[in-house]
Amino acid sequence: MEGARLGRWLVLGSLLTLLLLRAEGYPVKITYLTEAVAKGAVCLDGSPPAYHFSQGFGAGVNNWLVFFEGGGWCSSVADCLARRDTRLGSSKYMTKELSFSGIFSNKQNYNPDFYNWNKVKVRYCDGSSYTGDVEAVNPKTNLHFRGARIFRAVIDNLMSRGMNNAQNAILAGCSAGGLGAILNCDRFRSLIPAKTKVKCFADAGYFINAKTVSGTSQIEQVYSQVVATHDSAKNLPTSCTSRMKPGLVSPGIGIALGILSALLYCTLLTDDPGTKMAVLLPTKRDLTNSDTNIHPECCVRFLAGQKYPGARCR
């Protein structure tokens, strides 16, 4: 009885949340970068990259939030073929209109910090966290590995739309897009005018290289395959690749980088991709495991890499 009642409340809460987001959100149409095709900046299937753009206004007219969508990786030709004819591999299958809400909202009471900024959501269709660049295209698969070119084409296009006059610019992303924000942070800084204040922000995009419960280095293996398939090494930060293998890249960024840690993923800690992912909740200086199944190495590896003063695992 109690379980059924709780279930009804959860459903009701979800419906109310959706209604709130619908009331807050506003529709933003898709923009296709058809001119990028001539530069080879295309999705896996060769279609043009795309984004959704909401123009800034008032005091925010020269401020920009550029957010890169996530959606996992494809680490082999077979893997990339499986997503080529979906929204994660082709702009032909992308939703033509998105509802902007939350950090994209244009209402001050919902989004006091960014409501009047120029806001861009870049659609994800390359499978490499915007780092791949392979010139050759196999006619048998028609796969294009061009994530890095997509990143450059998007930024160049936004510069022509006014980002060249930006006072503030934030490069952000979630999951695979968050990793893209980390890996392209310095590149973003180099493409933006020197007078612009630049920050980068990754939401759930920092993947810790902890071993699985059986002792294998799953995350290293998977990401190394991504790097090899997409020839990403040449587009990864040299501050990382000069000191470690491309499959082990971690933040080595020269400018301010924020990593959202309210729900920090310790991914691929089991050998079965279908099992529950482990999550840490480092919301205090004392980091604790949020679940008895959490691999303790997550906490140790994260602190070792980030060097939080006074923080410890327990």
CA distance 170 to 256: 10
Q: Which of 176, 232, 223 is nearest to 204 (CA)?
A: 176
**Residue 131 one-letter amino acid:** T
Mean pLDDT of 125-138: 97
* Predicted confidence (pLDDT) per residue in 260-273, tens digit: 543 344 433 334 44
Residue 68 and residue 33 share a domain: yes
H or E element, residue 65: strand 63-68
Determine contact, residues 311/282, Cβ cutoff 8 Å.
yes
Instruction: Give the residue, 210 or 110, on which the prediction is more confident.
Output: 110
**pLDDT tier at 275 (50, 70, 90 boundaries)?**
very low
Parent domain of 296: 269-314
Residue 286 and residue 249 share a domain: no
Question: Is the pLDDT reported for residue 103 higher than 70?
Answer: yes
Domain count, the chain: 2
Q: Is residue 250 part of a domain?
A: yes
Residue 124 and residue 226 share a domain: yes
H or E element, residue 200: strand 197-203
Question: Is the pLDDT reported for residue 295 higher than 50?
Answer: no
Residue 294 and residue 188 share a domain: no
What's the chain's average pLDDT?
79
CA distance 33 to 38: 10
Q: Is residue 292 part of a domain?
A: yes
Q: Which pLDDT does position 274 carry in this prediction? A: 39
Q: Which pLDDT does position 108 carry in this prediction? A: 96
Q: Which pLDDT does position 276 carry in this prediction? A: 32
**pLDDT tier at 214 (50, 70, 90 boundaries)?**
confident
Question: Is the pLDDT reported for residue 62 higher than 80?
Answer: yes
CA distance 205 to 152: 20
Q: Is residue 113 part of a domain?
A: yes
Q: Which pLDDT does position 259 carry in this prediction? A: 52
Residue 243 and residue 134 share a domain: yes
Question: Is the pLDDT reported for residue 293 higher than 90?
Answer: no
12: burial class by Cβ within 10 Å (0-12, 13-18, 19+)?
A: exposed
Instruction: Give the residue, 40 or 314, on which the prediction is more confident.
Output: 40
Question: Is the pLDDT reported for residue 232 higher than 50?
Answer: yes
* Residue the block writes with tokens 């870049």: 122
Residue 276 and residue 253 share a domain: no
